Chain A
Amino acid sequence: MNANPKLEIPRLKFRKLDIKDGRVDLSHGSGGRAMAQLIAGIFHEAFANEWLAQGNDQSVFSVPAGRMAMTTDAYVVSPLFFPGGDIGSLAVHGTINDLAMSGARPLYLSASFILEEGFPLADLQRIARSMGEASRAAGVPVITGDTKVVERGKADGVFITTAGVGLVPAGLHLSGDRARPGDVVIVSGSMGDHGVAIMSSRQNLEFETLIVSDSAALHELTAAMVANCGPSIRLMRDPTRGGLAATLNEIAHQSRVGVRIEEDAIPVKPEVAAACELLGLDPLYVANEGKLVVFAAPEDAQRLLAVMRAHPLGRDAAIIGVVVEDSHHFVQMTTAFGGGRIVDWLSGEQLPRIC
């Protein structure tokens, strides 16, 4: 069991959870002994930290002076386990990234689990442990949580919702409405890896690739960017659902500008490009979970690019375009072929349940 004796909830004597063959049943959500056992045996064990160990319905922590960032996120990805990650690590990375895009240093996470009756405990433990590992690696603990169980057929294995809080460095004000004509647009690496990895592991698609999800926590990369080039950074955003195309369109509308990009400059791995070709997808619309887009003042763009490339998660960073004046707020692209086109919002659903 656990190295930390504080994590044992005293007074209650539990029969050991049958992780190997056991399954979630309705009693695990009923508020009784089975639920306490599940929380102790799976979640406390996986997340192991002083706040959870107190066993309260909330965690109390002191608040530093300054501005805080808060975010919430829900995870319904299918399949639950995919090349390069699972719903647990994805939930930690995704929540941390949403905080990090404000320039904030992520401090704490929460996690709520909606479990479907019949879900194997072994899978739940695998997910919780992966989540625990991801949060320890990032240095951002999961300090409070909740568990609910719904009848078979009312969910799909497990859904996770999270929240996160972080601390914004003094003087930093990043926002989607701050892009100005002349600004430079930089991506931190190759586009489309996560979406294609998910798709390749879907049952009805039956193709095999070596592509793994790029799921990763970006807060250390953003910390380096902010520390070195903070005043030049207008905004950062992680291009998740809807891909780079959606993110650029959001920014163009929020900032009331146009964006011009060069197709040749956008990093896309050959295997991702090939899979997209096969599936009739455009990598610009495919989700990422470990990449960011940053808009920055032109005079500092090269220095920012160098800072990003010096970090392992920004090794393939590239300048892909510039901000222009445009009353229609179009994202326009010069194609590798030499013609021009719009990179529009995604219409309809390219791929459901990607995160």
Chain B
Amino acid sequence: MKYVDEYRDGKLARAIAATIAAEVRPELSYRFMEFCGGHTHAISRYGIEDLLPANVRMIHGPGCPVCVLPVGRMDDAIKLARRPDITLCTYGDLMRVPGSQGSSLLKAKAAGADIRMVYSTLDAVRIAQAEPERSVVFFAIGFETTTPPTAMAVLAAEQKGLRNFFVFCNHVLTPAAIQNILESPDVRLLGNVRIDGFVGPAHVSTVIGTRPYHGFAAEFEKPVVIAGFEPLDVMQAILMLVRQVNSGRHEVENQYIRAVTVDGNLKAQDFVARVFEPRDSFEWRGLGLVPDSALRLREAYARYDAEKVFAIETIQAEDNPACECGAILRGVKKPADCKLFGTLCTPETPMGSCMVSSEGSCAAHWTYGRFRDYARSEAQGHEFEQKAAS
């Protein structure tokens, strides 16, 4: 498949792996956080960990929109969907996300709620147009990548004069979340997480450009390499990060030059700015309340705002106390550190959000990488037996 296979070439991968292995300093350890779920997925799916030296470790960040959506907002969506006058349109990956008390959109649908899976925001607009007697609510979620299409949908609804189309807005912002991680007590005070650099977002950066990362790269002295979602992109970004660490630099570099520019997509930014404005703060699962990290509809578009029209008041819901999603999303723990991982919590019966989306670090590790846990524990067991025998 042209234009994709080139970025998955095994021979090139081995060449980059050899360069990384030659350039890492054996006395150092390198801990890089890939912010985006798309990178987490690529790392797991292509087995990139197998190609890295032992002293380079990837920490999976919170860049999975489904994973960071707080339970309370999920409950709001389910509540909306249960109203007989409402048709809730959603992307498919939200269907199985558990709300509180074991509810989910999938279960609400089975119980009779009118929930439709859509592939595009404009599908939701079309449904609103075709079924004027229904109140059609689009469950908007995602980072800067999916925000412009939601803005387009609102503008399309306005242009068509639709009075029955609404957006339940949960769009969040990447730079604020990265900053929040770097300012968290885990990183600054407790030393639970050491991050030596970031693999920066791919698709998000095509929209916002490279500029928004410069501030915290300088302030926190952490290198950032913006990378594409293909496995060779990730490998090359890791090499670039290793080189920055080795030479004591902390710059914003762009590996993904085929798609990302300094300014980003100005037209998309303009659509977003017309329809949305920042919220003072928003709850992220795992991170808590993060200031200036999310968007809401502007007053001028209030009549499309499901939160206002249907008077949604989010009630904070508690996660399962044994669920480690929060610590995993902050990079403090790994999936295998969670007691629920692979026992009560699997992709079939997700307890926490990291297990729901295929981009979540628990789902990615369970689906693609869990054999390494067994290999590790069996090797340790073997060593133990050998020691015991000698």
14 interchain pairs, CB-CB under 8 A: A204-B118, A204-B119, A205-B119, A264-B10, A335-B45, A336-B10, A337-B9, A337-B46, A337-B231, A338-B13, A338-B14, A339-B51, A341-B47, A344-B368
Contact of A328 with B371 at beta-carbon distance under 8 Å, contacts A335-B47, A341-B44 already known: yes
Partner of B46, one of A264, A277, A328, A339: A339
Whether A339 contacts B47 in the complex (CB less than 8 A), given A332-B371, A344-B366, A347-B367, comes out as: yes
The reply to whether B4 and A339 contact each other, CB–CB distance below 8 Å, is no
- Whether A342 and B13, one on each chain, are in contact in the complex, defined by CB atoms closer than 8 angstroms, is no
Task: Check if B50 sits within 8 Å of A204, measured CB to CB.
Answer: no
Contacts of B363 in A (CB 8 A): 347
B231 & A341 in contact (Cβ 8 Å cutoff): no
A73 CA / B370 CA spacing, docked (Å): 35
Q: Are B50 and A338 in contact (CB under 8 A)?
A: yes
Query: Are B1's CB and A270's CB within 8 A?
Result: yes
Q: How many residues of B contact A (CB 8 A)?
A: 32
Q: Which 5 A-B pairs have the closest CB atoms?
A: A339-B47, A347-B347, A339-B50, A337-B46, A341-B368
Question: What string of 1s and 0s marks CB contacts (under 8 Å) between A313-340 and chain B?
Answer: 0000000000000001010101111111
- Report whether A337 and B347 are in contact in the complex, using a CB–CB cutoff of 8 Å: no
Convert A343-355 into 0s and 1s, putting 1 for each residue whose CB lies closer than 8 angstroms to a CB of B: 0100110000000
- Check A337 against B370 for contact (C-beta < 8 Å): no
| B296 → chain A closest CB, angstroms | 28
Asked whether, in the complex, the Cβ of B96 is within 8 Å of the Cβ of A348, the reply is yes
Report if A274 contacts B (CB, 8 A).
Answer: yes
Instruction: For residue A348, give the distance in angstroms from its CB to the closest CB of chain B.
Output: 6
Q: Name the one of A270, A338, A344, A347 contacting B51, with C-beta atoms under 8 angstroms.
A: A338
B235 (CB) vs chain A CBs: closest residue: A337
Cβ-based interface call for B374 (8 A): yes
Q: Judging by beta carbons under 8 Å apart, are B10 and A338 in contact? A: yes
A47 to B27 Cα, complex, angstroms = 77
CB distance from B43 to the nearest CB of A (A): 9
Docked-complex contact A342 and B369, CB < 8 angstroms: yes
Does any Cβ of A come within 8 Å of B249's Cβ? no
Which residues of chain B in 121-163 are interfacial with respect to chain A, using CB atoms and an 8 Å cutoff?
Answer: 123
- Indicate whether B277 reaches chain A with its CB closer than 8 angstroms: no
With most chain B CB atoms within 10 A of its CB, the pick from A274, A334, A338, A344 is: A338
Q: Does B313 contact A (CB under 8 A)?
A: no
- The answer to the question of A273 belonging to the interface, with a C-beta cut-off of 8 Å to chain B, is yes
Q: Are A347 and B348 in contact (CB under 8 A)?
A: yes
- Residue positions of A touching B, CB distance < 8 A: 204-205, 264, 270, 273-274, 277, 328, 330, 332, 334-342, 344, 347-348
Give complex CA distance A348, B367 in Å.
12
Closest to A280 in B: B358
- Could you tell me if A342 and B123 are in contact, using CB atoms closer than 8 angstroms? no
- Of all chain B residues, the one with the shortest Cβ separation from A340 is B47
Residues of A within 8 A of B123 (CB): 204
Query: Which chain B residue shows the least CB distance to A276?
Result: B1
Q: Are B45 and A341 in contact (CB under 8 A)?
A: yes
Closest residue on chain B to residue A333 by CB atoms = B47
Excluding A338-B17, A347-B363, 6 further A-B contacts by CB distance (< 8 Å) are A205-B119, A332-B371, A337-B47, A337-B231, A339-B48, A342-B368
B375 to A: closest C-beta gap in Å? 9
- B8 on the A face (CB < 8 A): yes
What 1/0 mask marks residues of chain B from 91 to 132 whose CB sits below 8 Å from any chain A CB? 000001000000000000000000000110001000000000
Q: Mark B5-26, 1 if CB is under 8 A from A, else 0.
A: 0001110011001000000000
Say which residue of A205, A330, A340, A347 sits within 8 Å of B50 (CB atoms).
Answer: A340
Q: Judge whether B85 is part of the interface by a CB distance below 8 angstroms.
A: no
B280 contacts across to A, CB distance below 8 A: none
Q: Mark B34-50, 1 if CB is under 8 A from A, else 0.
A: 00000000001111111
Asked if A341 and B96 make an inter-chain contact with CB atoms under 8 angstroms apart, the answer reads no
Residues in chain A near residue B9, CB distance under 8 A:
337
Q: Which of B48, B119, B367, B374 is the one whose CB lies under 8 Å from A337?
A: B48
Are A342 and B370 within 8 A (Cβ)?
Answer: yes
Which residue of A274, A330, A332 contacts B1 across the interface (Cβ within 8 Å)?
A274
Most chain B beta carbons < 10 A, residue from A205, A277, A328, A347: A347
Beta-carbon contact of A337 and B1 below 8 Å: no
Are B10 and A277 closer than 8 Å at their CB atoms? no
Once the chains are docked, how many angstroms separate the CA of A270 from the CA of B17? 27
Closest to B355 in A: A347
In whole angstroms, what is the CA distance A338 to B346 when docked? 27
Task: Assess the B49–A339 pair: CB atoms within 8 A.
Answer: yes
| A198 to B: closest C-beta gap in Å | 15
CB distance from A193 to the nearest CB of B (A): 15
CB contacts (< 8 Å) of B371 on chain A: these are 328, 330, 332, 340, 342
Q: Give every chain A residue within 8 A of B347 (Cβ-Cβ).
A: 347-348
